[in-house]
Amino acid sequence: MSVAAETLDAVQSVTESGYKWGFETNIEMDLAPKGLNEDIIRLISERKEEPSWMLDWRLKAYAAWLKMEEPEWARVDHPPIDYQDLHYYAAPKKKNGPKSLDEVDPELLKMYEKLGIPLKERAILAGVDPDEVEERQIAVDAVFDSVSVATTFQETLKKSGVIFCPISEAVRNHPDLVKQYIGSVVPIGDNYFAALNSAVFTDGSFVYIPKGVRCPMELSTYFRINARNTGQFERTLIIAEAGAHVSYLEGCTAPQRDENQLHAAVVELVAMDDASIKYSTVQNWYPGDADGKGGIYNFVTKRGACRGARSKISWTQVETGSAITWKYPSCVLLGEDSVGEFYSVAVTTNHQQADTGTKMIHIGKGSRSTVVSKGISAGRSNNTYRGLVRMAKTADNARNFTQCDSLLIGAACGAHTVPYIESRNPTAKVEHEATTSKIAEDQLFYCRQRGLSEEDAVNLIVNGFCKDVLKELPMEFAVEAQKLLAVSLEGSVG
Amino acid sequence: MNAVSPPPRPGAAGFLARYESLIGALPGDSALRAAAAAAFRAAGLPGGGPGRRIEAWKYTALRPLADMLFAPAQAPDIAEPPTLAGAAAKVVFVNGAYRAAMSAPPAFFARFADRPDFGTLSWPDREPMTALNTMLAADGMTLDIPANTDGGTVHLASIGVGPTAFHPRHLVRLAPGASLTLLETANGTGPYLHNPVTEIHVGAGARLIHVRLQNEDIAAFGLSTLYADIAEHGTYDSFSLNLGGRIARAEIRATLSGPHATAHLNAAQLLTGTQHSDFTTVVRHAEPHGASRQTVKNVLAGQSRGVFQGRIEVARDAQKTDGYQMNQALLLSPDAEMDCKPELEIFADDVKCSHGATIGALDADQIFYLRSRGVPAAEARAILVRAFLTEAIDAVADDAIRALLEAGIAGWWDNQAA
């Protein structure tokens, strides 16, 4: 049996065994009626106790969205989405607002336990002295459907002046900051899904790192879609003032169900002089079953603005889930000598469709960017890298290096590469390389003749193929990411 | 018939009016022309006005063409075009019309005007410029090389004298085992539109070497579309040198329709002033064991803009495909621009496909090396640009043809220096 055939079998056996994290918790939900109109937006704004400028902003976005058309250029195929058949607001019913973890709905805690999320404050690595432990702690702002229900480590963060809270809270408590930055990187009319998000976003995270502060811990959020027929529209805004540093982790899994669910998030990052933001994602929404039924539609707009000199924004993503992924984490490199990075592993199996990549817009002198994208297609899936590198006339001595590699496993999948490269500055240097191949017979042979089983050999080669990206992940995520890769391609990857 | 021809109108409307005034007078399948006219009416000139953007024309907008007023093609007196040393056969078209007095056609030549054949490969329904050609094509060259015959070298020359628009239709068929070297030159004077559609069939085991030297007038529009089908063990080996035109586009759609077929689509573009030149290729690997190679070099001076779009498609069944594509651009001026979109679309797993793209200026270290050895700055640049182009030109094996290309490049460089 050929490797490809075995792999197909293996992938199939995984899918048949079912989605490991596909379960559902029963918590009473507070649902807005289905459909989208100005009244729903007013309701969302009211529930969030928002000031009137926020409501006006939402309504403006809604008006823009009404005039826009759903984009069709991505290599994804799905039945038309009925935007009036969704609930735009869902919140777990509050029991007078939990003050501590003891008061958090035990159902919810149990669910996080099943997912292995370290919600409780605890020493992560045993045997390390308490000061060290504190440094390695991870703050979790858990988003359960649309409302943040538990926030931890606030005190430690507060001490250093870092603001880390649900965005709805930030709108109330830090209106000036939110007003100044929201929509400044992804304007309300940027694209169809961003406009939709701007109109109806219900929650997400807000992070503000003051001047010169190195955030004392990794910040992380776990998203989870839970209620039937609810779209999730998170809005995340991260601002790093001059000289500030922050590393933000985002990960998600979702329960198994048959109906497609829409997820249209917007993430905006702003980095000032000498600031750096590292944004890491492990995405594992429910991908649909082996026949392509169900699964999450993940239409995300992520963009960072390197506004300051020597600022740096780094995106790392491991994408294994979702029925459809439409996602292009981008960097606008305005600052002199600013740096943008994009490291991505995208795995698709069964009927999954991923159209993902990045945009690097070089405007500042001496700006640099690195793009490393690894796509793995198996089953009947389609995996597309779509990217843009633009050197503006002002981008003297700017530099880009792009490497896109695709690996095909099985004869029924597709791998595509669609890079756009535009240069208007002769001193800027752009380099782009892309390859498509299968696992080389000679590599397999080399491993096999040293006694590795075929499965271990494939595992080793796939891990090596993704190594450039995985090594960019923070330690806490690298383990989870490797686990996800293994599960996604179980059988062929061990 | 005393019909007074209406005053000429610019853009798509002008071409449609021209078509309507010629209905019944044009050779060949009139239903096909009518369908093409309907398609062109719906699509218009890509980027010629407001309306839906076409992704295939993302970087090239024909707005300036839409503003042009063209008169019906005349048959002006012109000087004899240069003869290629070693080419026994020559076929000359002036403003798209066959000029027998200047031609020495081979035995396997026929005129489109006498024997209209629109072929089977083109997409008038999807390609607006092909629709325009299909609607208005009046003449062209048909070559049918019999099986196992060497057709030698044929020189196809197009000369335009503006202001006018012409849409020649060429068809080249190589029967199994046949071979041919086709040199195609395009030049002229004044503002004109040269919009040829060429269809090429390379039969089993046949071999076509196709070298194109596009040196249209700096005020002219040269928009060519070429459809090629390469059968089992067939080879289509093409090189395009794009020097001229105000707005130029060379689009090649090659399908490797039999196993073990080979396609080489190499090109070089040298631009200056406000020129815009677009080299667009789609290579479709439909059957196993195909190989395709593309090396595209761009040298951009002045405020010129170079475009390269290259897509390699590999169908499900095209296992063991080997596809390679390299696009490199040198920006010689702060106002030049290069836009590049190399694409891979792969549906088979046992393939080896790669592409690379680089854009940048001449290497400062290399210039310093030459200057430190007493080479003047301009000459140092010339040497390095020449070296950059050598890799592309080297793909042309025929000495006489390569000499012609080198002369074209030298002429371009002299203009830069002047």
pLDDT tens-digit series, residues B299-335:
999 999 999 999 999 999 999 999 999 999 999 999 9
Q: Tell if the CB–CB gap between A414 and B345 is shorter than 8 Å.
A: yes
pLDDT at A15 over 60: no
Asked if the model's pLDDT at residue A253 lies above 50, the reply is yes
Interval B222-244 mean pLDDT: 97
CB < 8 Å to B340, chain A: 420-422, 432
Residue B356 and residue A426: Cβ atoms within 8 Å?
no
Q: What's the gap in Å between the CA of B25 and the closest CA on chain A?
A: 41
pLDDT of residue A142: 52
Q: pLDDT for B258-314, tens place per residue?
A: 999 999 999 999 999 999 999 999 999 999 999 999 999 999 999 999 999 999 999
User: Which one of A412, A421, A426 has the shortest CB-CB distance to B361?
Assistant: A426
Compute the nearest-CA separation of B392 from chain A (Å). Answer: 19
**Phi, psi angles (nearest 5°) of residue B253:** -120, 105
Q: What is the pLDDT of residue B242?
A: 97
Contact between B316 and A416 using a beta-carbon 8 Å cutoff: no
Question: H-helix or E-strand containing A334?
Answer: none
Interchain CB distance below 8 Å, A436 and B350: no
pLDDT (0 to 100) of residue A136: 43
pLDDT digits (tens, 9 = 90+) for B323-373: 999 999 999 999 999 999 999 999 998 999 999 999 999 999 999 999 999
Q: Residue A24: what pLDDT?
A: 56
Single out the residue of A335, A423, A334 nearest to residue B335, CA to CA. A423
CB-based burial label for A99 (10 Å; 0-12, 13-18, 19+): exposed
Of B299, B292, B300, B415, nearest to B355 (Cα)? Answer: B292
- Cβ neighbours of B349 in A, within 8 Å: 4, 408-411, 413, 438
Please check whether residue B359 is in contact with residue B342, taking contact to mean a CB–CB distance below 8 angstroms: no
Residues of B with Cβ-Cβ distance to A74 under 8 angstroms: none
Is residue A132 less than 8 Å (CB to CB) from chain B? no
Point out the residue among A420, A426, A436 whose CB comes nearest to the CB of B353: A436
Task: Please indicate if any CB of chain B lies within 8 Å of the CB of A411.
Answer: yes
Please write down the long-range contacts of A126-133, taking CB distance under 8 Å and 24 or more positions apart: none
Tell me the C-alpha distance between B11 and A376, whole Å. Answer: 47
Q: Is it the case that residue A230 has pLDDT exceeding 80?
A: no
Q: Which of A424, A429, A431 to mutate to test the interface with B (most CBs of B within 10 A)?
A: A424
Cβ separation A428–B336 shorter than 8 A: no
**Residue A434 and residue B339: Cβ atoms within 8 Å?**
no
Q: Phi then psi for B283, rounded to 5 degrees? A: -110, 120
Report residue A105's pLDDT band, with 50, 70 and 90 as the boundaries: low
- The mean pLDDT of chain A is 80
Q: B350 to chain A: which residues are within 8 Å by CB?
A: 4, 411, 438
Of the candidate ranges A422-431, A440-449, B5-14, B255-264, the one whose mean pLDDT is the lowest: B5-14
Please say if the pLDDT value at position A464 is more than 70. Answer: yes
Sketch the domain layout of chain B as residue ranges. 16-76+86-364
Chain A residue with CA closest to B330: the answer is A426
A394 interfaces chain B, CB cutoff of 8 Å:
no
ipTM score here?
0.89
Residue A97 or A48, more confident: A48
Backbone angles phi, psi at A171, to 5 degrees: -60, -40
A5 Cβ under 8 Å from any chain B Cβ: no
Determine how many CB atoms are found less than 10 A away from the CB of residue A94: 11
> Which pLDDT score, from 0 to 100, does residue B87 have?
65
CB atoms within 10 A of CB A291: 10
Residue-averaged pLDDT of chain B: 93
Work out the percent of chain A whose per-residue pLDDT is above 90: 45
Contact B334 A425 (CB under 8 A): yes
pLDDT given at position A110: 57
Tokens representing A477 are: 């995520």
**pLDDT tens track for A40-59:** 999 889 888 899 999 999 99
In this prediction, residue B416 carries a pLDDT of 78
For the cut 70, the answer to whether the pLDDT of residue A112 exceeds it is no
Q: Where are the beta strands (DSSP E) in B10-62?
A: none
Band (A463; pLDDT cuts 50, 70, 90) = confident
Q: Which residues, other chains included, contact B262 with Cβ-Cβ below 8 Å and sequence gap of 6+?
A: B230, B234, B235, B236, B237, B256, B290, B291, B292, B293
Helix (H), strand (E) at residue A129: none
d(CA B393, CA B390): 5
Residue A130 burial (C-beta neighbours within 10 Å; 0-12, 13-18, 19+): exposed
Contact at 8 Å (CB) between A149 and A142? Answer: yes
Domain-by-domain residue ranges, chain A? Answer: 7-327
> How distant is the alpha carbon of residue B186 from its chain centre?
10
| Beta bridge mates, A93 | none
Mean pLDDT throughout B72-84?
76
Residue of B nearest to A376 (CA): B349
CA distance B258 to B256: 6
Task: Concatenate the DSSP letters of all residues of B107-157 into one string.
Answer: TTEEETTTS----SS--TTT-HHHHHHHHH----EEEEEPTT-EEEEEEEE
Q: What number is the average pLDDT over the span A446-454?
A: 90
pLDDT of residue A221: 60
When CB atoms are compared, the residue of A393, A424, A434 closest to B355 is A434
Inter-chain contacts counted by CB atoms under 8 A, chains A and B: 115
> Which residues on adjacent β-strands are paired with residue A207?
A164, A238
Task: Give pLDDT tens digits for B134-170.
Answer: 999 999 999 999 999 999 999 999 999 989 999 999 9
Per-residue pLDDT at A121:
32
Q: pLDDT at position A108, please?
A: 52
Residue A224 clears pLDDT 80, i.e. is over it? no
How long is chain A? 494
> Which residues 328-387 of chain B have a CB within 8 Å of chain A?
329, 331-334, 336-361
What pLDDT shows up at residue A406?
93
Q: Quick one: pLDDT at residue B223?
A: 97
From chain B, the residues in CB contact with A414 under 8 A are 345-347
Which pLDDT value is given to residue A122?
29
Residues of chain A found within 8 Å of residue B272, distances taken between Cβ atoms: none
**pLDDT (0 to 100) of residue B266:** 96
**What pLDDT does A20 receive?**
57
Judged by DSSP in three states, A343 sits in strand
Give residue A146's pLDDT. Answer: 43
**pLDDT value at residue A23:** 52
Query: Tens digit of pLDDT for each residue in B183-225?
Result: 999 999 999 999 999 999 999 999 999 999 999 999 999 999 9
Q: Is the pLDDT of residue A259 over 80?
A: no
The DSSP secondary structure of A385-432, one letter per residue, reads: EEEEEEE-TT-TT-EEEEEEEEEE-STT-EEEEEEEEEE--TT-EEEE
Q: What is the pLDDT of residues B82-97, one digit of tens each?
A: 777 666 799 999 999 9
| Residue A198 near chain B (CB below 8 Å) | no
| A397–chain B Cβ distance below 8 A for any pair | no
Please, which residues 49-88 of chain B have a Cβ atom closer than 8 Å to chain A?
55
* Residues in a beta bridge with B249: B223, B278
- Examine the pLDDT at A116 and tell me if it is beyond 70: no
> Which among A279-283, A424-428, B51-55, B71-75 has the top mean pLDDT?
A424-428
Is the separation of the CB atoms in A383 and A354 below 8 Å? yes
Are A420 and B340 within 8 A, CB to CB?
yes
Among A412, A415, A432, the residue with its CB nearest the CB of B346 is A415
Residue A145 CA to residue B88 CA, distance in Å, equals 78
**The pLDDT of residue A33 is above 90:** no
Q: What is the mean pLDDT of residues A352-363?
A: 95
Q: Is A410 on the interface with B (CB under 8 A)?
A: yes
Tokens of A319: 């994408």
CB contact (8 A) between residue B341 and residue A423: no
Residue A1 has pLDDT above 70, yes or no: no
pLDDT confidence of residue A358: 96
